[in-house]
Amino acid sequence: LAKTLWYDRPRYVFLEFCVEDSRDVKVVIEDHRVVFSCKNADGVEFYNEINLYGRVNSKDSQDKRSDRSITCFIRKWKEKVAWPRITKENIKPAWLSVDFDNWRDWEGDEEVERDWDPELGQGAGTGTWDWDLGLGP
């Protein structure tokens, strides 16, 4: 299992699978679950399966690989509804943690619309992201 971080935003849930120098990466985003697998530089295999707290729009979700991790941008089916956890089950696996560096309590926040927008490629307070996600209407 890969160490995994997650955080919530009004329109998206973000999952980051922390595997350096990954290869043979496979990410399957379905309406109610995410399946992730890869190998690291040493050939160690990783496999994570997450039954999601809520329904997502799998067709408007994407993943992006970097040298240090694989990040999934998962579009919520119901926008502006906070997820108290990422998993359907009310349990916390040891390999899954909240990404407190990116977490923020956006409920009732007047600046929700300034939140991260993949179409603009900008993050709230985290600088500009140069990832071309190809997401949009």
Q: Which residue range(s) make up the domain with 33?
A: 3-114
Residue 73 is assigned to a structural domain of this protein: yes
Q: Is the pLDDT of residue 121 over 90?
A: no
Residue 124 is assigned to a structural domain of this protein: no
Residue 41 is assigned to a structural domain of this protein: yes
**What's the pTM value of the predicted model, to 2 decimals?**
0.78
Residue 137 is assigned to a structural domain of this protein: no
More confident residue, 63 or 136: 63
Note the Cα 30 to chain centre separation in Å.
Answer: 13
Residue 62 is assigned to a structural domain of this protein: yes
Domain total in the chain: 1
Residue 132 is assigned to a structural domain of this protein: no
Of 105, 63, 60, nearest to 84 by C-alpha is 105
User: Where is average pLDDT lowest: 28-37, 69-78, 89-98, 114-123?
Assistant: 114-123
Contact between 24 and 131 under an 8 Å Cβ cutoff? The reply is no
More confident residue, 128 or 27: 27
Contact between 114 and 121 under an 8 Å Cβ cutoff? The reply is no
pLDDT for 105 equals 77
Q: What is the pLDDT of residues 47-62, one digit of tens each?
A: 999 999 999 999 999 9
Distance between CA 79 and CA 59 in Å, rounded?
Answer: 15
CATH no. for residue 36?
2.60.40.790
